[in-house]
Structure 1
């Protein structure tokens, strides 16, 4: 992209945030248009300045993931990069699902961080190689488990199981799906057998594990 990259930096640790801001300002390719210390402040800063990039910490008050999700929904042109200490697979996956285009760790060197941000500003994505390999493996494993768990359930049974997972009774499920209550009971018997669980509570827990 042409011109300087406008960026909002959000982190609840002023000393660390100040160091990041100084690094970006000294590089010469960035304009830090606002700083924030919470998710709410980050969203407000993005709304006020419409930067090219929002650089967010995951663990700041209000949740950086919540901020990322709202920014991605309301301001899709703004590219989101998470800068965090968390190496947890679930955090990486959640950040990407929330709309983040980059995920960098706080131990990254200054020149590497500026390179990542310039790369994202150009429209590319970034996840540190070690994390990317682990997350890809985790997602593939989760997908394989889901395929195995779902095997044998009909579309109707999945629909019923989804309602069971929300705590609905057979009568409520029957009303929702326009079925007879005895038909729902029949389906429930089959579902319990296929999932190898003893009752609807265990079925609901299994459904959540399966992502239903």
Structure 2
């Protein structure tokens, strides 16, 4: 089994890669070879090689603008073979914003599982074994937070308007209504930082420069006329 491990903490990335290879006989019934890389660009270069890896472990906070769920989105765009991707992250289930990022990874970007860097060593070992055995694995504490979340479901269902994911479309509709970042965060029960992150992805996908242009595009999709009810600031 060929594994690609992507993490910008080089020492940790190499250590985890060596750990998996050293304990391969305990973790998997097939031989394992792990390639560590430290940037998203390097990871995408590896994905372009033939044959691609069988499995990818991806940190969510890498170089440049690759932070949170955006990292997985960018990676999946360069993953035409649909190689399974497991999120290996320092995010914690005790933080509402970080739980929502993990939810987005599973719901919107087809993550195959989640490993928590800060979790108990034994649980991470069990998770690795299950994942390498072909299972979808999510730590129990993350599943509990998913189940207990009071966040309202996306009104857009499974539709992908303008090429946006359901979460991006929710933010886009709020932008089109002229809501501020703070108001959007309150309505969608996320942080302002998360709204800024998703907004940047929306601008890039729609090829617009600002909130006003994004609002115009979304309103046109909604059939709401030439512009938002109130021009976004």
TM over 0.5: yes
> Could you tell me which residue of structure 2 aligns to residue 193 of structure 1?
none
Superposition deviation, residue 58 in structure 1: 0.7
Pair 1:9 & 2:5 matched: yes
The answer to whether the Cα contact below 8 Å between 1:71 and 1:78 also exists between their aligned partners in 2 is: no
Cα gap change, 1:34 to 1:129, in 2 (>3 Å): same
Q: Distance in 2 between the 1:17 and 1:126 partners? A: 20
> Could you tell me which residue of structure 2 aligns to residue 53 of structure 1?
55
Q: Distance in 1 between the 2:102 and 2:175 partners? A: 29
SS in 2 for 1:9: strand
The answer to whether the Cα contact below 8 Å between 1:23 and 1:110 also exists between their aligned partners in 2 is: no
Q: Distance in 1 between the 2:44 and 2:125 partners? A: 22
Deviation readout 1:8-55 (Å, 9 max, x if unpaired): 111111111121012101112453342111111112223325112111
**1:1-212 mapped onto 2 (5 Å cutoff):** 5-28=1-24, 29=28, 31-48=32-49, 50-62=52-64, 63=66, 65-73=69-77, 74-87=79-92, 88-96=98-106, 97-110=108-121, 112-138=123-149, 141-143=151-153, 164-165=176-177, 166-168=214-216, 177=223, 200-201=229-230
The answer to whether the Cα contact below 8 Å between 1:10 and 1:55 also exists between their aligned partners in 2 is: yes
Which structure features the higher share of helix residues? Answer: 1
Stretches of structure 1 lacking an aligned partner (at least 5 in a row): 148-160, 189-198, 206-212
Cα gap change, 1:70 to 1:141, in 2 (>3 Å): closer
Superposition deviation, residue 6 in structure 1: 1.7
Cα gap change, 1:51 to 1:118, in 2 (>3 Å): farther
Stretches of structure 2 lacking an aligned partner (at least 5 in a row): 93-97, 157-172, 178-213
> Could you tell me which residue of structure 1 aligns to residue 185 of structure 2?
none
Q: Distance in 2 between the 1:75 and 1:120 partners? A: 21
Task: Decide which structure has the larger Cα Rg and report it.
Answer: 1
Superposition deviation, residue 78 in structure 1: 1.3
Superposition deviation, residue 71 in structure 1: 4.2
TM-score (norm 1): 0.61
